[in-house]
Amino acid sequence: MNDPVLSPSRNAVRLVGRLLPLVMVAANGCVDGSSPTDVTHVDEPVQHTTIHGTAALSSIDDALARIIPALNDAAAVAPLRAALLELRMLLASDGAADGMATEATARRAVHAYGRSTTGQDAELDAIRLALDAAARSQRSDGPTR
């Protein structure tokens, strides 16, 4: 049996599969182009950001900016928005330990929203895919440089 919380639709997977390389190229285009011999300070955020983390932040930002405002039920979307905002802050600050629990909270909020409304499966699938990216970033721990 398919669990709607854990399995996004094929259309959503295809869409993210097409958009993710573009997001990664755009994110890589924003990387500092200084030479490898330049001194990099340890406290710079780039030092701790992973490729998966950058993609996860972009996905969560996109969900917050475009998908959440498109959802119909404002009362039911409030806990989902709050969970995504908390996850976004943890990803940005490299809070890996708390990120897993927050990602699980966001998944429960997506599931609860899906139970309370109908006709927004594609939007919820896109949010699930953003959460998948966040989960991948929590599992990866290598720096980008």
pLDDT tens digits for 53-99? 677 888 999 999 999 999 988 898 999 999 999 988 888 886 555 66
Q: How confident is the model at residue 47 (pLDDT cuts 50, 70, 90)?
A: very low
Total structural domains within the chain: 1
**Is residue 121 in some structural domain?**
yes
**What pLDDT sits at residue 115?**
93
Sole residue written with tokens 């959503």: 12
Q: Tokens at residue 68, please?
A: 């959440």
Please give the full DSSP string across the chain, using - where no structure is assigned: ---TTT---HHHHHHHHHHHHHHHHHHHHTS----TTS---TT-GGGT--HHHHHHHHHHHHIIIIIGGG-S-HHHHHHHHHHHHHHHHHHHTT-HHHHHHHHHHHHHHHHHHHHH--S-HHHHHHHHHHHHHHHHHHH------
80 domain-assigned: yes
Q: Does the predicted model carry a pTM greater than 0.75?
A: no
Q: How far apart are CA 69 and CA 131, in angstroms?
A: 17
- Domain extent at residue 90: 53-138
Q: Is residue 35 part of a domain?
A: no
Decide if 47 is inside a domain.
no
Asked whether residue 46 is assigned to any structural domain, the reply reads no
Is 78 a domain residue? yes
- Stretch 124-145: mean pLDDT, rounded? 76
Q: 128 in a domain, yes or no? A: yes
- What would the two tokens of residue 64 be? 């917050």
The whole-number pLDDT of residue 136 equals 83
User: Is 14 contained in some domain?
Assistant: no
